[in-house]
Amino acid sequence: MAVNRWNDVVSCQIFPERISPVPWDIKELEKLLFDAVRNCLSECQRLNDRPETVLCFSGGLDSTLLLRIMMISSRTPHTFTIGPNAEHPDIVASKAVMKAFDIEHLHHVVIPTPEQITEAKAGLRKMKQPDNDGSAAVFLCHKAIRAAGFKTFIAGDGIDEIKDLPSKNSGVCFRHNI
């Protein structure tokens, strides 16, 4: 099976409810994944007007895979992780990965105050956006990225949910403007 888009993967053998009679080619999938990340990296560098890029990083499987591909592509990014406290699983996991890859100096941890979360929720309501804790955290992480001088970042939005395809936007790698 030729894999031309990330969503072509939904017909592969690992999703039993979408079994295809033709197995997908792992080499094609790997090429697609690396090409997508490299394209995002190039576009981010161009839009940021600087060689560095940013990855929203939880320390989980999806963001760690993106980080590793970026590193293999000779473009180790700055990473940003947000959580309510230093013991939050995302912060603990992200710090462990950064230490394992010996790139702790490129990791930024964002721990917002309750007041910042309240202000973010109010701002989101004014923009008619969801104002839950998760949305506020994402908003504040984006704000921290912008404050660090970056205009764009890369995130693995939807990778964990790709099996169920919650939206047409699920995929490997998105470049976001902020």
pLDDT tens by residue, 81-91: 999 999 999 99
pLDDT at 43 over 60: yes
What is the pLDDT at residue 159? 52
> Measured at the alpha carbon of residue 125, what is the angle toward residues 124 and 127, in degrees to the nearest 5?
65
What is the pLDDT at residue 17? 52
- What value does the mean pLDDT of the chain take? 77
How do residues 47-66 score in pLDDT, each as one tens digit?
Answer: 888 888 889 998 888 889 88
How do residues 119-160 score in pLDDT, each as one tens digit?
Answer: 999 998 998 888 888 888 888 998 999 899 888 888 876 555
What is the pLDDT at residue 36? 85
Name residue, tokens 């964002």.
Answer: 110
Burial 26-63 (b: 16+ CB within 10 A, else e): eeebeebbeebbbebbeebeeebeeeebbbbbbbbebb
Average pLDDT value for residue range 13-38 = 69
What class has domain 6-177?
A: alpha beta
The share of the chain scoring above pLDDT 90, in percent, equals 32
